Amino acid sequence: MTDVTDEAHRLREQLEAERQARRDAERLAAENARLLYERQDELELLEMVAAASNEATAIEPALGAAIVHVCAHMRWPVGHAYLVDPATGALRPSGVWYLEDETRFAAFRAASEDPDLVPWLPTNVMATGESAWVTDMGDDPEHFHRAEVARAAGLRAGFAFPMLVGPRPVGVLEFFTGGDAAADPALLHLMDQIGVQLGRVVERERWRAELERSNADLEAFAYVASHDLAEPLRSVAGFVALLERQYGDRLDDRAREFIAYAVDGVERMQRMIDDLLLYARAGTSDLRLERVDAGELVAGALRDLGTAVAERGATVEVGTLPVLRADPGQLQRVFLNLLGNAIKYTAPGVSPLVTVSGRTAGDDAEIAVADNGIGIDPAEVERAFEMFARLPGKAEYQGTGLGLAISRRIVERHGGRLWVEPNAAGGSVFALRLPLP
Ligand code: ADP
């Protein structure tokens, strides 16, 4: 009898233990599922912010998308960004907000954008470079001058985190809610990652704006230079020609030689002005992209070089070239420069032999212009592409030193690359790579 009771007791205990184990396992599974779900949610948030950051072509849309996504993730009604003014280093409201209810939060927004007083929360984040959490703004009215308007709008808790470029904050994002919200280190860690992501956008877009500004400045300068310089230049050329025409018979050979130098100087300066203008335009004018046969562009460039080809007795062999997506006028200018150089930079007494060949390399087309010229010292290769770069010891060859700088600018604006390598048979190979259409 006792045996049976003991056995029943043992079985009951076992059953209970198994039930408990199953409950534990179910709780664990539910907990894991919740964690997984949250993780998934966090990953989605990071992905959405990253996608918006990559697509943005200005700072504000990237900030706007991040703020909307964070508010949706948290189910919080208010989000806002401050940016550091690069000129003064001061923190300024960006004007980018998410407000679930514009009327209800209008006074809070106005207090946040008060030009005379940047609120404590973003100021503190700027000073420490770290995120901060406030559970109740009403607790500390001395710090939170927005406490009153926040309470009136039903806002209580909030957090803020920096947008970082390396260790340097370039702005602050802040979010607010009406409910109780305890500090959440895991969430702040997630926000830190968003802060780094947005810091990159701020840096990238400021660089882009800076580059556009300096390109526009350069173009404006080039226009002014070309018009203002062209005028006195024309007058010098005119008077020198007049001098030769009217007084030519009274001048000796030496005087006529000086006049020839003056004319040469004027022509060189005119070429430099023209090239400067081309360089400026290569960075700013709109690209008119279309499908073009590179073979036709090369043929066009060779027509323009007809005299040089004949004078130098050059042989130019052109292989099969790919179809590209490019601005025909601009890309033909690149071939004109490369072929012109290939014909020009040969040793005296050597007939130029130039080969133009094409091949595909993955998703790109590659076109090479190989010559049997004087070659370029490998140490000078990068200098050759700089503005006004004329390599040492080449004074006998005429040029402005802008052709390669213009060509690289054009190719890079097409999303490609232009470089030079030594030709195994002597001379140089200039190669350009552009995405296939
Ligand atoms: P430019 O020919 O007007 O001087 P570029 O910008 O076209 O200016 O070229 C810059 C410099 O690079 C040239 O002055 C020359 O020294 C060198 N270079 C360019 N192309 C070649 C080439 N095919 N072979 C040798 N040197 C070259």
Buried b / exposed e along 401-420 (16+ C-beta atoms within 10 A): bbbbbbbbbbbebbebebeb
Tens of pLDDT, residues 271-327:
888 888 888 888 777 789 999 999 999 999 999 999 999 999 999 999 999 999 999
Report the mean per-residue pLDDT for the chain: 91
Tens of pLDDT, residues 335-385:
999 999 999 999 999 999 999 999 998 899 999 999 999 999 999 998 999
Is the predicted pLDDT of residue 328 greater than 60, yes or no?
A: yes
State mean pLDDT over 224-234.
83
Q: Is the CB of 275 under 6 A from ligand 1?
A: no
Tens of pLDDT, residues 152-208:
999 999 999 999 999 999 999 999 999 888 888 888 999 999 999 999 999 999 999
**Residue 410: pLDDT band by 50, 70, 90 thresholds?**
very high
* 209-223, 377-391, 415-429: range with lowest mean pLDDT: 209-223
The predicted structure's pLDDT at residue 336: 97
Higher per-residue pLDDT: 365 or 27: 365
Q: Is the CB of 389 under 6 A from ligand 1?
A: yes
State mean pLDDT over 252-280.
89
Which of 345, 372, 398, 400 for a ligand 1 pocket mutation test, highest count of atoms within 8 Å of Cβ?
A: 345
Contact 240/266 with Cβ under 8 angstroms?
Answer: yes
Q: Is the CB of 399 under 6 A from ligand 1?
A: yes
Q: Identify the residue whose C-alpha is closest to ligand 1 atom 25.
A: 375
The predicted structure's pLDDT at residue 138: 78
Is the predicted pLDDT of residue 253 greater than 60, yes or no?
A: yes
Q: Residue 276: enclosing H or E segment and its boundaries?
A: helix 253-284
* 31-40, 123-132, 169-178, 331-340: range with lowest mean pLDDT: 31-40
Contact 316/336 with Cβ under 8 angstroms?
Answer: no
Q: Identify the residue whose C-alpha is closest to ligand 1 atom 7.
A: 403
Q: Is the CB of 352 under 6 A from ligand 1?
A: no
Q: Is the CB of 330 under 6 A from ligand 1?
A: no
Compute the distance between CA of residue 252 and CA of residue 257 in angstroms, rounded to an integer.
9
Q: Which of 177, 170, 175, 208 is nearest to 58 (CA)?
A: 208
Tens of pLDDT, residues 140-155:
766 777 888 999 999 9
Tens of pLDDT, residues 111-123:
999 988 889 899 9
| pTM across the whole model | 0.63
Q: Is the CB of 68 under 6 A from ligand 1?
A: no
Q: Is the CB of 279 under 6 A from ligand 1?
A: no
Q: Could you identify the residue written with the tokens 């890309």?
A: 331
State mean pLDDT over 29-33.
79
Which of 312, 398, 404 for a ligand 1 pocket mutation test, highest count of atoms within 8 Å of Cβ?
A: 404
**Beta-carbon neighbour count of residue 238 at 10 Å?**
11
Q: Is the CB of 391 under 6 A from ligand 1?
A: yes
What φ, ψ does residue 407 adopt, rounded to 5°?
A: -60, -45
Q: Residue 127: enclosing H or E segment and its boundaries?
A: helix 120-128
Question: What is the Cα 377 distance to its own chain's centre?
Answer: 31
Is the predicted pLDDT of residue 17 greater than 80, yes or no?
A: yes
Q: Which atom of ligand 1 is nearest to the CA of 374?
A: 25
Is the predicted pLDDT of residue 1 greater than 60, yes or no?
A: no
**Beta-carbon neighbour count of residue 207 at 10 Å?**
10
Provide, rounded to the nearest whole percent, the portion of the chain with pLDDT above 90: 62
Q: Which of 98, 147, 94 is nearest to 119 (CA)?
A: 147
Q: Which of 76, 258, 283 is nearest to 184 (CA)?
A: 76
Q: Is the CB of 131 under 6 A from ligand 1?
A: no
Tens of pLDDT, residues 46-72:
999 999 998 888 999 999 999 999 999
